[in-house]
Chains A and B, each alone.
Chain A
Amino acid sequence: NAGVTQTPKFQVLKTGQSMTLQCAQDMNHNSMYWYRQDPGMGLRLIYYSASEGTTDKGEVPNGYNVSRLNKREFSLRLESAAPSQTSVYFCASGATETYGYTFGSGTRLTVV
């Protein structure tokens, strides 16, 4: 089925470890997004990419980096994980900002 695929689904990291969350979409969307979801706080935008080759900071970018590898793929990297980064991470894509987003199923990350 067409959509947004995220890997891994679950991950446990020790403080200071690094990892990359992968995201790929097969809908030929221009825009891609990384959100984190924490209880009672809704979704907060970490980084986004309006088109291939561009990336911009969102609301909570500190401690993260991103790469828009091509039109399909948008990865999120944690260079030195901290317990405050324990969260559920969602990747999303959209044809345009006004079209609405398609979300992946999420990555549940725990940093101990």
Chain B
Amino acid sequence: AQSVTQPDIHITVSEGASLELRCNYSYGATPYLFWYVQSPGQGLQLLLKYFSGDTLVQGIKGFEAEFKRSQSSFNLRKPSVHWSDAAEYFCAVGPTGGFKTIFGAGTRLFVKA
């Protein structure tokens, strides 16, 4: 069965430090992979997506993610975190048949001054 795992429930980083959020998936074919961000009290916003081709994809707000088929991973990275990046981040995989995308449980990012 398809699934998405985000191993870290929450992560704290210092402002200006680098960030990596982990995502592992289980999928029977070549997946479509997504990262979304949710600011407090808001809906989710699409950060980036991977379909095929270059395994390093660039997104909005300075984020990037790398697809590693051998590790079934799609980790999100940012070289230098800003206080405004504090939010919850969701990894997702689709399609899973019937137009359904599966979301991970989320990783909450805290940024300290």
Residues of A within 8 A of B (CB): 4, 31, 35, 40-43, 45, 48, 50, 56, 58-59, 90, 92, 97-98, 100-106
Give, as a whole number of angstroms, the nearest-CB distance from B35 to chain A. Answer: 10
A98-B51, A103-B43 known; A43 and B95 CB under 8 Å? no
Would you call the interface of chain A mostly helix, strand, loop, or mixed?
loop
Q: Do B42 and A105 have beta carbons less than 8 Å apart?
A: yes
Q: Do A98 and B100 have beta carbons less than 8 Å apart?
A: no
Q: Do A97 and B43 have beta carbons less than 8 Å apart?
A: no
Q: Which 4 A-B pairs have the closest CB atoms?
A: A103-B43, A97-B95, A42-B105, A43-B103
Give, as a whole number of angstroms, the nearest-CB distance from A84 to chain B. Answer: 19
Q: Which of B51-87 contact A (CB under 8 A)?
A: 51
Chain A residues with Cβ under 8 A from B28's Cβ? Answer: none
Task: Please give me the residue from chain B that is nearest to A3 by CB atom.
Answer: B43
A103-B43, A105-B43 known; A42 and B106 CB under 8 Å? yes
In the complex the two chains form, what is the Cα distance from A40 to B6 in whole Å? 11
A45-B100, A50-B99 known; A100 and B90 CB under 8 Å? no
Q: Do B100 and A58 have beta carbons less than 8 Å apart?
A: yes
Give, as a whole number of angstroms, the nearest-CB distance from B3 to chain A. Answer: 11
